[in-house]
Amino acid sequence: MINRRQAIMYTTGLILVPSAIISCGLDEKTIIDPPPLSKLKSWEERAKQLEDYGLVKSRENGSANGATEEDIKIHVPKVTFGSNSLGISVNHSMTPDHYITTIYIKDQDDKIFGLKELLPITDKIPYAEFGVPKGTTSISAFSFCNVHNHWCEKVPMQHQ
């Protein structure tokens, strides 16, 4: 069990917890040892860091890249639309050994307009809510699993 002090140290980057990644569709086992979150300068830098780990899987290409139907069901982010916001949820457990580390969202121009880091000790459900910039016509929602890597769902904007 991680106490509050350890959680603060973890989220501020005072300690690192390496996580093993088994990349679906890739041949190598990769160890993620990201820089402390406090050292990252922007959402774009964090997204690039995650995207550099390799293939981004989606509902459309997941099974072709080694993902099972169950992998797709529990990793692909789901988007729900509100009047001026949207919610991103992932049907995934949040255990210390297997959890969603990050949820973020991009518009049609690939501009990130929201990013949330998650921890299994504080976030029991992988969920994030973001305001939507005017002029957004489509979005790509991303989730990153510490075991099964990067997932995406692309959807057109729906105005409530």
Please report the pLDDT score of residue 50 as a whole number. Answer: 85
**Among 79, 80, 54, 78, which residue's Cα sits nearest to residue 66?**
54
> Which conformational region is residue 50 in: left (phi greater than 0), alpha (psi within -120 to 50 degrees), or beta?
alpha
Rounded distance, CA 112 to CA 44, Å?
A: 7
- Partners of 127 in the β-ladder: 89
Predicted structure pTM score: 0.73
| Cα–Cα separations (whole angstroms), residue 79 to 16, 55, 89, 93 | 31, 21, 7, 18
Please tell me the chain's helix, strand, coil percentages from 3-state DSSP, rounded to the nearest 5.
Answer: 20, 35, 45
Three-class SS of residue 129?
Answer: strand
Please report the pLDDT score of residue 56 as a whole number. Answer: 75
| Cα–Cα separations (whole angstroms), residue 12 to 16, 122, 128, 142 | 10, 14, 20, 22
pLDDT along the chain (160 residues), means of 10: 41 35 33 48 85 75 72 90 92 93 94 93 94 92 90 83
Please report the pLDDT score of residue 32 as a whole number. Answer: 43
Q: Does domain 4-156 have CATH number 2.60.40.730?
A: yes
Please report the pLDDT score of residue 20 as a whole number. Answer: 29
